[in-house]
Structure 1
Amino acid sequence: MSENTWLRKARLNGNVGQWSDWSECKGAVGEECVKTRRRTCTPKRNNPCGCRDVQPRQRRTIPVKVTFHQYHDVPRTKQDALQLGWVKKDVGADCQGTYFNGERFWKDSDLAVILLYDVNGFIAGIQTAFDKNYSSNPNDYPSPQLQNHPLVEEGGNYHTTAYFIPSDKICSTGRTLAEFNQQGTGTGLWVQNGTSPSSTVQIPMTIEQVRSSEWTEATCFKAMGTHFLYRMSVDMDCDDFFPMFLLYNGGVLDGFGWGYGINLQTSSRFEHPTPFVFPVMLLLV
């Protein structure tokens, strides 16, 4: 029975109220949880069982996971981050930065994962960075055309940044607890492609939308999904390769990753595809 069908039936047999807000997650930090919402129903006198079809609704909230084949959970609130040993990267800095929006947190001084929280302490984005002067860099990566678009230099490091809510909301109003409980990790995906937090590009949320955009479809790779790469072609200049790939499963966006042209050995979170895997991942369709 569809929701509209049982709702019409319930209204014939009882007075049905509006849905409540989604409940909060309970349990260990970072674990998957089930949220519940309910609606009231008062049976009519002539049908005391008329509300039997008005059942609570549930949905699963999936945590943010990082690092392929490891899938480590990361905290989605600043409070949880502090409990798990994450610390503020820019001590004394405000939410509104010169180059990025959000309070930045890292763990064990690892530049591979930097979490961004809004003014109310809810997850707002994620960054990866590496030392501008990393010694093993025979190709002088990044190329001039990628510097600050999207690899933004700040504090001696190059950063790639993705936001889960519009960047102009992060340090102004942020999200309320009710919005966070309803929306989860975010409302979309925006990639910063300039030196200002407002210089963002919104990522298509469905495979139909991305197929009609400038993102190029590549292969579907096991345990990842269908890859899309920005303006990819077989004869393109490697210096123009946009260091990001999108992943779609079930017709919707459910992941993304960064792809740098430099062999970074500074964190166990950086993956190093083998000569066999890399061309398969980039095979265009």
Structure 2
Amino acid sequence: MYVVSENSKFAGKRYAKDGDTAVILIFDVNGYIAGLQAGREADGVMENVFFGMGVHYWYNIQKDMSCDDFFPMFLLYNNNKLDGLGWAFGTDLPSPRYEHPDSSTFEEFMDPVPECLSYQGRLSTMHIYMSNPLLNFC
């Protein structure tokens, strides 16, 4: 059982069976189950700055990786604070709600760029911000 300080805005307790953070039960300060959390080890997190969008943190991207291992979610930080998250799907989804970067732009927000993505054509990405993205200066 992990106890979070009551002074924290995330007060309560978390339980990870046998230390496995794949599924964590979150209890509120009254002892009721308040939610579930899924965790991943943070090894291999890579960052890249994209001015106006924030610092992109990618999980375990490597130049020679298989696209089957590409984790399609990234975190966005601005001024060293978590400010959003995003999805990067390895296909060109036909909605105008997505951004559609092609392989010539990948190096602007990924470093290194997995070689397998160059064969994907365009990605479909979506950024979800917790503040005004016009104020993201990294």
TM-score (norm 1): 0.26
Instruction: Tell me which residue corresponds to 2:90.
Output: 261
Give 3-state SS (helix, strand or coil) of 1:277's partner.
helix
Give 3-state SS (helix, strand or coil) of 2:39's partner.
strand
Shift of the alpha carbon at 1:215?
Answer: 4.5
Instruction: Tell me which residue corresponds to 2:39.
Output: 201
Gapped runs of 5+ residues in structure 2? 1-24, 113-138
Judged with a 3 Å threshold, the aligned counterparts in structure 2 of structure 1 residues 246 and 215 are, in CA distance, closer, same or farther, namely: farther
Runs of 4+ residues over 4 Å off in structure 1: 166-169
Q: Does 1:275 align with 2:113?
A: no
Look up the equivalent residue of 1:220 and give its one-letter code: V
Gapped runs of 5+ residues in structure 1? 1-165, 175-196, 203-211
Q: Distance in 1 between matches of 2:82 and 2:44?
A: 13
Q: Distance in 2 between matches of 1:256 and 1:238?
A: 20
Pairing 1:126-137 to 2, within 5 Å after superposition? none
Shift of the alpha carbon at 1:198?
Answer: 4.0
Instruction: Tell me which residue corresponds to 1:193.
Output: none
Which structure ranks higher in relative contact order (CA pairs < 8 Å, sequence separation ≥ 6)?
A: 2
Shift of the alpha carbon at 1:250?
Answer: 0.9
* Matched length: 85
Which digits, 9 at most, give the CA deviation of each residue in 1:58-87, with x for residues without a partner? xxxxxxxxxxxxxxxxxxxxxxxxxxxxxx
Q: Distance in 2 between matches of 1:214 and 1:248?
A: 18
2:71 aligns with one of 227, 231, 242? 242
Instruction: Tell me which residue corresponds to 1:194.
Output: none
What RMSD in Å do the two structures reach over aligned CA positions?
2.9
CA contact (8 A) 2:49 2:55 kept: yes
Give 3-state SS (helix, strand or coil) of 1:239's partner.
helix
Judged with a 3 Å threshold, the aligned counterparts in structure 2 of structure 1 residues 168 and 258 are, in CA distance, closer, same or farther, namely: farther
Shift of the alpha carbon at 1:223?
Answer: 1.0
Q: Distance in 1 between matches of 2:69 and 2:90?
A: 11
- Give % identity: 38
Rg (Cα) greater in structure: 1
Q: Distance in 1 between matches of 2:71 and 2:26?
A: 21
More strand by share: 2
Q: Distance in 2 between matches of 1:244 and 1:200?
A: 13
CA contact (8 A) 1:214 1:231 kept: yes
Which digits, 9 at most, give the CA deviation of each residue in 1:113-158, with x for residues without a partner? xxxxxxxxxxxxxxxxxxxxxxxxxxxxxxxxxxxxxxxxxxxxxx
CA contact (8 A) 1:225 1:247 kept: yes
Q: Distance in 1 between matches of 2:73 and 2:44?
A: 10
Shift of the alpha carbon at 1:240?
Answer: 0.5
